[in-house]
Amino acid sequence: MDKINGYSVQEARELIDFVSEGKRRGEPLSRLFEAYGRRCGRAGGSVRNYYYQFLKCEDARAKEILRGKRLHAEKIREFTEEEREEMLRKILSERSKGYSVRRSIANICAGNEKLMLRYQNKYRNLIKKQPELVERAARDLGLESCAPVRRGTEFLQRRLEKEINDLYDRLALALREENDRLKRAVEKLTEENEILRRAADRSGRKEDKGA
Residues 6+ apart with CB under 8 A from 131: 148, 150, 153
State pLDDT tens for residues 152-203.
455 555 666 666 666 666 665 566 666 667 777 777 777 777 787 777 677 6
pTM, 2 dp: 0.47
pLDDT of residue 129: 83
Q: Please give the full DSSP string across 23-61, using - where no structure is assigned.
A: HHTT--HHHHHHHHHHHHT--HHHHHHHHHHHHT---HH
CA distances for 34 relative to 40, 152, 171, angstroms: 10, 23, 16
Q: Any idea of the CA torsion for 171, 177, 182, 188, to the nearest 10 degrees?
A: 180
Give the HSE-up count for residue 171: Cα atoms under 13 Å, Cβ half-sphere.
Answer: 17
> In whole angstroms, what is the distance from residue 113 CA to residue 105 CA?
10
Question: How many residues belong to the chain?
Answer: 211
For the stretch 43-54, pLDDT in tens is: 887 888 889 889
Q: What is the pLDDT of residue 44?
A: 81
